[in-house]
């Protein structure tokens, strides 16, 4: 028995495969907390890199001071969002919906009335109402759940980064001694792999989303498109989805553009999205991603489809980074620049 156990510990590939399966099983068991876990990792990763960036220019500045000032600014930003941005966003979304409804009424009044008459005479009216109520309640519940996850992630990331040196020192004790030294070494191995792939790719996609949003807003402002705040938020969120996000944003932008300037504006939007997609593919991706995710477009879309099926919206955002992580672990493709 001892001989088999020792052989297992000495077989590094088998041992790490078992540890990876155990990690995946644990994550599956706590899947209800996945929003909090992912957001905590993202916030912590960004803050740690922010600390290193600031200390590169101001070496003597304490990390605790940087973290404290950063989170004070985050709290002020959240206060601004709740008190100023959210009412503005709600008003712009309402205006956008009203303008689209008015456009639809003017263009398709006859068909709209026929459809409404057919729906009102259908026996499925109550079923449609019930489904609508379920969707509304699910949306309200989801918003509350996401808000709680963001709040908890901010708290956890704050306590981690405010004691960054202490956390690193204490965590290092696990791999120095003990019966399960090999287990914690493997955990550290996967932790480094995860950070070097998932974290780097997600950070790069975040900066790409900022660039895409800025370019889009400038173009929309030149075209005189209203509701820029709401459209900017939508474009930013969709830009977090690799490759497909920019293309998906074409649909709602086209509706808004058509309601403002007709088919001519739709052509402008189409050209704008194609140009932005080309900038992302040939300039931003090579600049920010380097050789991190040189995946063919077919694989990218396939990963997005599978990830969305299993993880919903989160899958569209983290599917490609997680797939890149597994490629790196399996040594099919290294995430390090060679």
Contact in structure between 252 and 234 (CB atoms under 8 Å)? yes
CB count in 10 Å sphere of residue 319: 23
What's the mean per-residue pLDDT of the chain?
A: 75
Find out whether 283 and 3 touch, Cβ atoms under 8 Å. Answer: no
**pLDDT over threshold 80, residue 36:** yes
pLDDT reported for residue 102:
63
Most confident region among 47-51, 193-197, 306-310 by mean pLDDT:
47-51
Predicted pLDDT of residue 85 = 65
Highest mean pLDDT of the ranges 30-34, 137-141, 211-215: 211-215
Alpha carbon distance 140, 316 (integer Å): 21
d(CA 277, CA 211): 11
Q: How confident is the model over 167-181, as a mean pLDDT? A: 80
Domain layout of the chain by residue ranges? 13-176, 181-338
Average pLDDT over residues 48-56: 87
The yes-or-no verdict on residue 333 having pLDDT over 60 is: no
Contacts of 219 (CB under 8 A, 6+ apart): 272
pLDDT at 292 over 60: no
Chain segment 59-83, per-residue pLDDT in tens: 888 888 989 999 998 888 778 767 7
Confidence of residue 303 (pLDDT cuts 50, 70, 90): confident
Burial of 86 (0-12, 13-18, 19+ CB in 10 A): exposed
Query: Exposure of 183 by Cβ count < 10 A (0-12 exposed, 13-18 middle, 19+ buried)?
Result: middle
Q: What is the pTM of this model?
A: 0.69
* pLDDT at 28 (0 to 100): 84
């Amino acid at each position: 028995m001892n001989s088999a156990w020792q052989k297992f510990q000495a077989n590094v590939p088998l041992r790490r495969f078992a540890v990876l399966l155990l990690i995946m099983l644990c994550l599956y068991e706590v899947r209800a907390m996945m929003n909090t876990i992912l957001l905590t990792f993202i916030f912590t990763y960004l803050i740690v890199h922010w600390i290193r960036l600031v200390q590169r220019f101001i070496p003597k500045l304490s990390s605790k001071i940087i973290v404290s000032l950063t989170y004070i600014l985050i709290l002020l930003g959240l206060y601004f969002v709740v008190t100023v941005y959210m009412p503005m966003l709600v008003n712009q979304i309402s205006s956008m919906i009203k303008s689209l409804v008015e456009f639809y009424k003017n263009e398709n009044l006859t068909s709209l009335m026929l459809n409404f008459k057919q729906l009102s005479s259908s026996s499925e009216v109550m079923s449609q109402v019930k489904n609508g109520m379920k969707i509304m309640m699910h949306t309200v519940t989801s918003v509350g759940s996401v808000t709680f996850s963001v709040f908890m992630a901010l708290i956890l990331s704050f306590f981690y980064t405010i004691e960054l040196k202490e956390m690193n020192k204490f965590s290092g004790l696990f791999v120095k001694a003990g019966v399960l030294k090999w287990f914690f070494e493997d955990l550290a191995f996967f932790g480094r792999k995860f950070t070097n792939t998932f974290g780097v790719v997600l950070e790069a996609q975040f900066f790409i989303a900022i660039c895409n949003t800025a370019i889009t807003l400038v173009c929309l402002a030149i075209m005189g498109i209203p509701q820029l705040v709401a459209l900017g938020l939508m474009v930013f969120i969709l830009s977090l989805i690799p490759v497909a996000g920019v293309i998906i944003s074409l649909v709602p932008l086209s509706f808004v553009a058509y309601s403002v300037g007709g088919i001519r504006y739709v052509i402008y939007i189409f050209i704008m999205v194609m140009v932005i997609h080309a900038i992302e593919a040939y300039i931003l991706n090579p600049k920010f991603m380097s050789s991190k995710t040189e995946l063919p477009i077919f694989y990218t879309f396939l990963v997005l489809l599978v990830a969305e099926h299993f993880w919903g919206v989160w899958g569209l955002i983290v599917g490609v980074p997680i797939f890149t992580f597994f490629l790196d672990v399996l040594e099919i493709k290294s995430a390090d620049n060679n």
